[in-house]
Amino acid sequence: MTTHSQNQNSGHRFSECIARPRVLLLLAILAIGSLMLSFYLGTRYAATGPDPAVQAKTVIPVWAKVEERTVSEGLAIAGTTKAGETAPISARTNGEPVLVYQNQKPGNVLKAGDFIGIIGADPVFVLEGPLPLYRDLNLGDNGDDVLAFQKALNSAGYATAQSGTVTEDTLDAVTRLHRAHLTGVPSEGVTSIARNNYAILPGGSHTVTAVAAVGQLINDGNPIASVETSEPYVESSVELSVANKLKAGDRVSLRTSTGSVEGTITSIGELQNDPSKGAAKSVRFSADDPSKLTPGQSASITSKGNTSTTLAVPTTAVRQDSQGTYVLVEKGGSSTSTSKDAPATERVNVEVLRTAGGYAAINANLSAGQKVLVS
């Protein structure tokens, strides 16, 4: 019984050994046949179309339309806030020039007719110049110095006839000026005009920047007060390529650590050599509200640039040769052409006004909607 089972198992193993190579052979034949069929079909039904060499030489033009749009070269530079120019208020006295009383402090804004202080026994008022007072004036005196003094009184708000002669009317105006600021003016009023009582108010903004202290001697090196004759401003050394695009009067935004304020380009200096920037120009900016500028602070200056609408094309459409700057404009509906030949175009000369954001603002004999060749 055992012997019969062993014989059956041996027969099965023998059959399996014979069948397995047949299966492998069949699979190999099928694989080879599939490859041969694929090759045959590939050669019989080859892809149709342009020759690759021809395709490589085919020019596919890219077009863009002429547009009406804003091309703005915005400004973004750094600068420094600086103090305005200052000038002293020069006063004199016949006696020891000791400051007895100081009526001003830094930050005050002076105007014609204001009382400054007392030097020795002389009160000092500021009046607009020119003020060529070279003598004390009395009733009946006349001359150009008298006429200038009368004009200064009128400018300060103390009306008097501008006759060039000291009259009772002139003395009355002086009396009103003194009584507006001082006590102890005699009941009969001012009877003579002392030149030491009047100082010239410098031109400009008239903001007090410094004052002498009571007890100090007043002289050229230590004036009774100094005033700012121009407002604080922002200054920047601007690269020549950028500076040449700016002009006085352009509007800007000024930003410092204390905030932002709108401003204006007030002046553009001469060409200079900046160690860090090379060729440059010094540009000065004024603020609409100068009180927001603190001298010594860094400032950033920005602007939107020219916001007017103009004809514009992509900068890649602008070409240049020995004859000038130009664009190639579509001619005869060639914008759909994909031939290997160059598309039909015509040259139109252009003037590039400015560039920004990938576009060039141009001045040219073109209309919005026309097509220009980009590539």
- Residues 219 and 178 placed together within one structural domain of the fold: yes
pLDDT value at residue 371: 94
pLDDT in tens, 182-228: 988 999 999 999 999 999 999 877 889 999 999 999 999 999 999 98
Q: 137-142: which pairs have CB atoms within 8 A and are 24 or more residues apart?
A: 137/166, 137/192, 137/193, 137/195, 138/166, 138/191, 138/192, 138/193, 139/166, 139/167, 139/168, 139/171, 139/191, 139/192, 140/165, 140/166, 141/165, 141/166, 142/166
Q: Is the pLDDT of residue 336 over 50?
A: no
* Structure-model confidence comparison of residues 109 and 331, the more confident one: 109
315: CATH: 2.40.420.20
- Residues 122 and 142 placed together within one structural domain of the fold: yes
159-177 average pLDDT score: 97
pLDDT value at residue 51: 62
pLDDT band, very low/low/confident/very high, at 257 (cuts 50, 70, 90): confident
270: CATH: 2.40.30.170
Q: Which residues pair with 80 in a beta bridge?
A: 235, 298
223 within some domain? yes
pTM here is 0.57
Q: Which of 281, 303, 325 is the last residue of a domain?
A: 303
- Residues 200 and 259 placed together within one structural domain of the fold: no
pLDDT value at residue 327: 95
Q: Which residues pair with 115 in a beta bridge?
A: 125
* Counted domains in the chain: 4
- Residues 122 and 29 placed together within one structural domain of the fold: no
13 within some domain? yes
pLDDT value at residue 357: 81
- Residues 268 and 173 placed together within one structural domain of the fold: no
- Residues 326 and 368 placed together within one structural domain of the fold: yes
209 within some domain? yes
User: Which range among 19-23, 108-112, 142-146, 299-303 shows the weakest confidence by mean pLDDT?
Assistant: 19-23
pLDDT band, very low/low/confident/very high, at 176 (cuts 50, 70, 90): very high
pLDDT value at residue 210: 94
170-189 average pLDDT score: 95
pLDDT value at residue 276: 76
- Residues 119 and 209 placed together within one structural domain of the fold: yes
CA 8 → CA 12, 15, 17, 20, 21, distances in Å? 6, 11, 15, 19, 21
pLDDT band, very low/low/confident/very high, at 334 (cuts 50, 70, 90): very low
pLDDT value at residue 67: 94
144-168 average pLDDT score: 97
- Residues 98 and 177 placed together within one structural domain of the fold: yes
* Structure-model confidence comparison of residues 144 and 331, the more confident one: 144
Q: Give the residue numbers spanning the domain of 37.
A: 2-48
* Structure-model confidence comparison of residues 44 and 301, the more confident one: 301
Question: H-type helices in 130-285, by residue range?
Answer: 144-155, 168-179, 240-243
Mean pLDDT (the chain, rounded): 86
Surface-to-core class of residue 75, CB atoms within 10 Å of its CB (0-12 exposed, 13-18 middle, 19+ buried): buried
Output the six-digit token pair for 360. 């060039």
Q: Is the pLDDT of residue 17 over 60?
A: no
- Residues 206 and 221 placed together within one structural domain of the fold: yes
